[in-house]
Amino acid sequence: MFCNQCQEALNVKGCTKNGVCGKKGEVADLQDRLIYVLKSISFYNQKARESGLNKEATDRFVLDGFFATLTNTNFDKQAIESYIKKGFEIRDAIKAKLPAGTLPAEEALPVIARVTPESITEMDVAVHSTQNEDIRSLRELLTFGMKGLAAYAHHAYILGYKNEEIFKFIEKGLVATTDDNLGVEDLIGLVLECGQKGVSVLALLDKANTETYGNPEPTAVNIGVRNNPGILISGHDLRDLEQLLEQTKGTGIDVYTHGEMLPANSYPAFKKYENFAGNYGNAWWRQNEEFEKFNGPILMTTNCIIPPRESYKNRIYTTGVVGFEGLPHIYEKEDGTKDFIPLIEQAKTSKPPEQLESGTIVGGFAHEATLSVADKIIDAVKTGKISRFMVMAGCDGRHKERSYYTDFAKALPKDTVILTAGCAKYRYNKLDLGDIGGIPRVIDAGQCNDCYSLVVIAQKLAEAFGLEDINELPVSYNIAWYEQKAVLVLLALLSLGVKNITLGPTLPAFLSPNVIKVLVDNFNIRPNTTVEEDMKVLLG
């Protein structure tokens, strides 16, 4: 095992026995093999596309298989083995249907095209096995960016929204990571292209969410509890939430969100459910203590699961791409629906949740809601009431150094406004930071995928101020990262020309010194340091 894809990589280098996340070494190795199988599928499916023979099921499998390898998503050895087995079956079926003359002779095929279920167990197939440090770094950066791309494309796909160009790029990128003819410049181009596709997929997902569930509205979300038994839903999948709310309607069971599902409370389509009780708890890494106290069943819908404690292991369920050995899994039916009866029946015998806190927090400031008061915001900037916007989006995590983000938010001048999205907000979204003339000092756009809203807001403000360069706005970026969705969001920002980003709490372990230099020279990316020093830089 060697895994360095997340911010918690051991000693900022990589995990070599078991992951800090709790992933076993044998599972990490299986995930490397799964990605290699996806590369083999991609080699053949590129040719199938050229012949008009691509199947939608292949696109879905590649998205799901890639997504299953994200940090904190699937820890289940048998599930990953099943993906590998099915992947080879899909690969061979694609190969068999290609027209005669499409492929060169067997011996002329690249290694990824000739790999078999038997040979893959003897091969070093991990992307980090590349010898050249800079090529390895760029291949990893591209791979991890594409993992985020696949995850967001998966979310959109679930709601019926697809973009053929995303599927094509993922295949192209997967194959490219095995092509020794591609040098540093070629790979940098692919990394930036991944960022461009990131913008496209974030826009697609925004469209999928808002056309399906309405534009988020500024909402005071209850963070206390009621006296009914409850089901807690975590992750990012709004379709799972919709089905759970519908199936629990009229049962006397309340539904609470957790972690990245918090922003769902601001969508109009979900507000009609009287049993939608609010949000329970905080960011993903605190789930052990919080899940113990919830008392009812818990549904994990996407990445964010951590190894569960025995105290609640008998009432946590996985679904979609999530998996953990020994936990019951709710499978999708052929018509795309899911049956949550096991959770509902267990909830009926559960005690109500133990209260963690009380009150409300305000969310729902996606681009439509924020831009509806753009005149007010612009006036506040012109009159000096707002001096600067601080983008503090991204991920939260366990490291104690992340208290930096709480301290930074507290130390910001009272004429600054925080723009946020993702679970990083849990470091400051419950602080009493007040408002500026009715404009809240923490504008929460939603989940990590809703970073797109922050881009739209910045672009519209640039237009309003007559600026051609988004970097001329009074906007600074102090971003926290943890996993591969955040890598994709970062690449998306870079592809839009955003510069001067401060990134922390550590720089990615998979970036070589030379690749870091490219990012510094072209985009002026810098690691965070101390609150005092970063405040000087970011406040200009």
Contact status, residue 5 vs residue 31, Cβ threshold 8 Å: no
Do 290 and 319 lie in one domain? The reply is yes
Do 282 and 373 lie in one domain? The reply is no
The CATH number of residue 61's host domain is: 1.20.1270.20
Contact status, residue 285 vs residue 396, Cβ threshold 8 Å: yes
Residue 270 in any domain: the answer is: yes
Domain boundary among 181, 212, 243: 212
Residue 492 in any domain: the answer is: yes
Listed in sequence order, the residues at least 6 apart from 487 whose beta carbon sits closer than 8 Å to its beta carbon are 141, 144, 145, 147, 148, 481, 508
Residue 490 in any domain: the answer is: yes
Residue 356 in any domain: the answer is: no
Do 189 and 205 lie in one domain? The reply is yes
Do 106 and 62 lie in one domain? The reply is yes
Q: Classify strands 360-363 and 219-222 as parallel, antiparallel or unpaired.
A: antiparallel
Alpha-carbon distance of 33 to 28, in angstroms, equals 9
Do 386 and 339 lie in one domain? The reply is no
Residue 503: per-residue pLDDT: 98
Residue 540: per-residue pLDDT: 79
Residue 513 in any domain: the answer is: yes
DSSP letter at 100 equals T
Domain boundary among 316, 348, 380: 348
Domains in the chain: how many in total?
A: 3
Alpha-carbon distance of 259 to 281, in angstroms, equals 7
Alpha-carbon distance of 145 to 191, in angstroms, equals 8
Alpha-carbon distance of 187 to 511, in angstroms, equals 13
pLDDT values of the chain reduced to their tens digit, one per residue, 540 residues: 999 999 999 999 999 999 999 999 999 999 999 999 999 999 999 999 999 999 999 999 999 999 999 999 999 999 999 999 999 999 999 999 999 999 999 999 999 999 999 999 999 999 999 999 999 999 999 999 999 999 999 999 999 999 999 999 999 999 999 999 999 999 999 999 999 999 999 999 999 999 999 999 999 999 999 999 999 999 999 999 999 999 999 999 999 999 999 999 999 999 999 999 999 999 999 999 999 999 999 999 999 999 999 999 999 999 999 999 999 999 999 999 999 999 999 999 999 999 999 999 999 999 999 999 999 999 999 999 999 999 999 999 999 999 999 999 999 999 999 999 999 999 999 999 999 999 999 999 999 989 889 989 999 999 999 998 999 999 999 999 999 999 999 999 999 999 999 999 999 999 999 999 999 999 999 999 999 999 999 997
Do 306 and 373 lie in one domain? The reply is no
Angle at 477 between CA 512 and CA 425, to 5 degrees: 105
Instruction: For residue 303, give both structure tokens.
Output: 């990445």
Alpha-carbon distance of 295 to 310, in angstroms, equals 13
Do 186 and 277 lie in one domain? The reply is no
φ, ψ of residue 368 in degrees (nearest 5): -65, -45
Closest to 279 in 3D by CA, of 329, 327, 219, 208: 219
Alpha-carbon distance of 451 to 227, in angstroms, equals 35
Do 128 and 179 lie in one domain? The reply is yes
Do 375 and 472 lie in one domain? The reply is yes
Do 207 and 271 lie in one domain? The reply is no
Domain boundary among 299, 316, 348: 348
Contact status, residue 495 vs residue 523, Cβ threshold 8 Å: no
Residue 409 in any domain: the answer is: yes
Residue 438 in any domain: the answer is: yes
The CATH number of residue 428's host domain is: 3.40.50.2030
Do 196 and 227 lie in one domain? The reply is no
Contact status, residue 13 vs residue 509, Cβ threshold 8 Å: yes
Do 452 and 336 lie in one domain? The reply is no
Alpha-carbon distance of 336 to 81, in angstroms, equals 23
Domain that holds residue 288: 219-348
